[in-house]
Structure 1
């Protein structure tokens, strides 16, 4: 194939952003030209629309000058000269101009909104894809509410601000230039008086801009924290209710909400001061022009028509001047949003893709080798110089106390983390030389905590194999002992599950995860405490079915309950990140006091 795939285009964009942002000075706060380059790839496909929108905005700005000219003609050449025919004709012309003006405004608004929404669509796609490519370390260190704030609030703010700002900038500049020439042509003295408002607004804008930037940064932080509070409270609602701590959660939310309110009010106060200064400056300018203009009219230096038209143009002049001062504030908002988006996009790839990935060996046997593997969480060593070979089709069990390193071993195998030193091989190929997609396509993990999406049961099952047919889905649910339960639901397989699987028990969620496993038909299966929520009868039934299904599949079972590893061929005992024993249950029980202690304690409890 000669062209890039959609995924390839997205990855290409992400690569461009990472390279761009890595060259930018850290902590740079200004909305600079270099920062503007960030948007170029996103708006390229809409550049024709943007050009059209800018042209329409410029044309609209020029066209807006004509109604006032027509009104001048009506006053000087029709009303003052008692020209009834001229009054009717020019009034019809004025109405026609107003209708045309409305139509141009409609086209301009529609085009602008398309451009704005298109940028939002492109930017949100890139940001979401970057979130999906974050390493487990990054997602663990970043609160979900903060990511949500970037995807929703910052993307909207940046895209809308930039689109409206750029288009308005062209339109307002053209308006100001056109009106300035007309005002100077009508009366240079009145024009110079009117222009005195510009330095006043410039000074006010500069002072307000810095205050507003700080306010916007603080508002973003509090909104992100509000998102975190809501997300955590809703996702943990069962714990909240079980512990009767609703009032505590309410207080925490109220405190953050109050902080957001106070910060927003500071921004409102700064904005109100700016508006007040702008309004007072405008009133002073208008009063000065009326006073000086009246004196000049009294002495015959300006006609009544010219004076009235100058007054109308002066009001038209105020609109783009005030709009331009507002655009700088808009760009400050966009700058804050861009800083947060940039911070997300420039995160380094902790688990990088190989530059030239090696294809999976064909046929793939499933031999797993850990060679001198060490791993650290931060600076703390966790897995220490571990060596292990798992043969094709072998079923092994990994046991040890909580925190011994069992789950970390399989996270290293799936490259959710990368080894600190050493190598993990699949059929003698370093897993870092395989694409992450190819690697994870042959491995399926069933964990204690099953993730269920707010979608139909069928679509949740299809995560195991998106190409599976209805017949294959039904067969898989029968093997996982879930089919009969699904049949009792009013919508069957089309039943929509609640957020995080609300409506399903813990055991039913694990059965759904097993269904995904069966449907995926992986070369390597990892069962991490995967029957912890099942009753003994269902657990035994699942184990019997999986024994048949996973016959030729390399299987790793991580267990706290020894009942789940009765049928494994080998046991691996892990203690403090090191392998302490390898063998059958009986061999390790007789030779290792630590294992014997774990086993006896559990049997005694049972």
Structure 2
């Protein structure tokens, strides 16, 4: 019930259509009850030979059927409209919420799980919950109305009918409990299946490189089989429910026929009343049977709805201040006794960092893998918040800036270049959608990208494909640099921006990076010696601590770890 109350705001904004639905549902139920009365009177007309009234009531019945059909159309169409809008709003709200969640959420949740809740679960809600409401509302009104009418026709027969209803309710409850358990497990398995598919598509090059296609097909087949058999448990339960309820329904009707026949013979009830009662009995039992079918399917919708709201109610761990600051920054950065842990159980990744970076300074971060270099720079745009200590930009705690103000003034170029499906122009202008063509081309020239872009027949309107698959690694990296140049950041983060490139591409990208770094506070994580040596200062990180900081020549004399890293990288470049 709590889940349905959470949907109330979505229905409330369409109260006009909800009112139309309720009015038509009421008219539908009234038409059903009037039809019973009409059948009773028709039987009297036949018995007494009243031809004129008989023809009149036949015409009235046809008119009634037309009214019933029109109300059925109006309620179904409007309820479908409300339901489709509800699902559309839920889908949009989920997407908006995902955009606002913190990075740690995406570290914990599988992509397949997120995709399953955003697609499969919404489809279940749309296909089951919406159609169930459309079916159940008119049947519910009809049930109440017919119940009252049958009590007038013959309360002894109605009492016998009502005795069987608890048995119906017990069986329905038994089926729904089991279906709920099956539905929960099935939705989880569908999410696992989506995760396997997503990972295989993302890693298709590795799969092919290791000739592991058959292995991956076997893995997917196993997950697919598990999902199939769980689905079949639900299908078997659903298929078993209908014949059991049907047998109970037929048994009840036969008992009513037997008792009613005796009452007709003894003169306790007229034939017309009994015919009307039997028709009404069908209308009475039908909603119970439909409710039984719906309640089993409804468990799937409730499970899906619960999974959707679980995601929607997940709070971001990194939140904007109540009154966030919007101000231009110069790029001065201070880390004050800063420590950070992704989770308390895994321990600190950064420990008591004390560091000040001047405006326009280039700071290189070096150290063994896992030393905390990437984690340190990820705190600047508030992908995560420090566990303790403070991070200041221009003397103001980063938590005081608005997300938009802070992140729009920080540029990031990483080893794994992220391009979006669209044109080269759209990707370069991603952070500045109102940029002119001349500004875009100027940024591309500074990134050494203009020359290769103009070789394409469509130039800047060339479609890059999903994740930029139609461009080479060096071309993608230069487009990403052009994107960063166009946004004109005051703080720049370069995280292994050239490590995955060949020598020729690396030279072009390195030139573009040098253009980008001018007059900007820059944090560089790199192995390339020229980048490190030319930095204003170098910070050496080990096990989450800054163990040394200074210029290249100083560190070669004073820091054994830096000496070791430098010699290893120098030997590597000479061998290359």
Query: Which category describes the TM-score, using the shorter chain as reference length?
Result: over 0.9
What is the distance in 2 between the residues matched to 1:58 and 1:357?
52
What is the distance in 2 between the residues matched to 1:587 and 1:396?
15
Q: Displacement, 1:545?
A: 4.2
- The aligned counterpart of 1:533 is 500
Among residues 358, 363, 367, which one is paired with 2:332 in the alignment? 367
What is the distance in 2 between the residues matched to 1:71 and 1:462?
72
Q: Secondary structure at the match of 2:229?
A: helix
What is the distance in 2 between the residues matched to 1:395 and 1:188?
91
- The aligned counterpart of 1:59 is 27
- The aligned counterpart of 2:9 is 41
Instruction: After TM superposition, list the pairs within 5 Å mapping 1:459-470 onto structure 2.
Output: 459-470=426-437
Instruction: After TM superposition, list the pairs within 5 Å mapping 1:296-375 onto structure 2.
Output: 296-360=263-327, 362=328, 364-375=329-340
| 1:512 counterpart = 2:511 | no
Q: Secondary structure at the match of 1:460?
A: helix
Shift in CA distance, 293/492, structure 1 to aligned 2, threshold 3 Å: farther
The superposition leaves residues 455-475 of structure 1 with CA deviations (integer Å, 9 ceiling, x where unpaired) of 333322232212222332222
Give the stretch that moved more between structures: 157-166 or 402-411.
Answer: 157-166
What is the distance in 2 between the residues matched to 1:296 and 1:103?
38
Q: Displacement, 1:127?
A: 2.1
Q: Secondary structure at the match of 1:306?
A: helix
What is the distance in 2 between the residues matched to 1:424 and 1:371?
6
| 1:155 counterpart = 2:155 | no
CA contact (8 A) 1:453 1:460 kept: yes
Shift in CA distance, 537/567, structure 1 to aligned 2, threshold 3 Å: farther
Shift in CA distance, 424/100, structure 1 to aligned 2, threshold 3 Å: same
What is the distance in 2 between the residues matched to 1:457 and 1:432?
34
Q: Displacement, 1:546?
A: 4.1
- The aligned counterpart of 1:272 is 239
What is the distance in 1 between the residues matched to 2:37 and 2:453?
74
Among residues 134, 156, 178, which one is paired with 1:211 in the alignment? 178
What is the distance in 2 between the residues matched to 1:246 and 1:549?
42
Shift in CA distance, 37/313, structure 1 to aligned 2, threshold 3 Å: closer
Q: Secondary structure at the match of 1:467?
A: coil
Shift in CA distance, 301/351, structure 1 to aligned 2, threshold 3 Å: same
What is the distance in 2 between the residues matched to 1:346 and 1:90?
57
Q: Displacement, 1:166?
A: 5.2
CA contact (8 A) 1:216 1:333 kept: yes
Shift in CA distance, 485/91, structure 1 to aligned 2, threshold 3 Å: farther
- The aligned counterpart of 1:577 is 544
Give the stretch that moved more between structures: 36-45 or 258-267.
Answer: 36-45
The superposition leaves residues 463-491 of structure 1 with CA deviations (integer Å, 9 ceiling, x where unpaired) of 22122223322222232233343334454
Give the TM-score normalised by the residue count of structure 2. 0.92
- The aligned counterpart of 1:222 is 189
Q: Secondary structure at the match of 2:58?
A: helix
The superposition leaves residues 530-576 of structure 1 with CA deviations (integer Å, 9 ceiling, x where unpaired) of 12233434433343344344422211111022243453222222222
- The aligned counterpart of 2:39 is 71
CA contact (8 A) 1:223 1:260 kept: yes
CA contact (8 A) 2:80 2:134 kept: no
What is the distance in 1 between the residues matched to 2:448 and 2:66?
69
Q: Displacement, 1:390?
A: 1.0
Q: Displacement, 1:449?
A: 0.7
CA contact (8 A) 1:208 1:274 kept: yes
List runs of 5+ in structure 1 lacking aligned partners: 1-30
Q: Secondary structure at the match of 2:14?
A: helix
- The aligned counterpart of 1:5 is none
Q: Displacement, 1:392?
A: 0.8
CA contact (8 A) 1:522 1:553 kept: yes
What is the distance in 1 between the residues matched to 2:57 and 2:458?
68
Instruction: After TM superposition, list the pairs within 5 Å mapping 1:479-490 onto structure 2.
Output: 479-490=446-457
| 1:383 counterpart = 2:350 | yes
Give the TM-score normalised by the residue count of structure 1. 0.88
Q: Displacement, 1:83?
A: 4.5
What is the distance in 1 between the residues matched to 2:527 and 2:540?
11
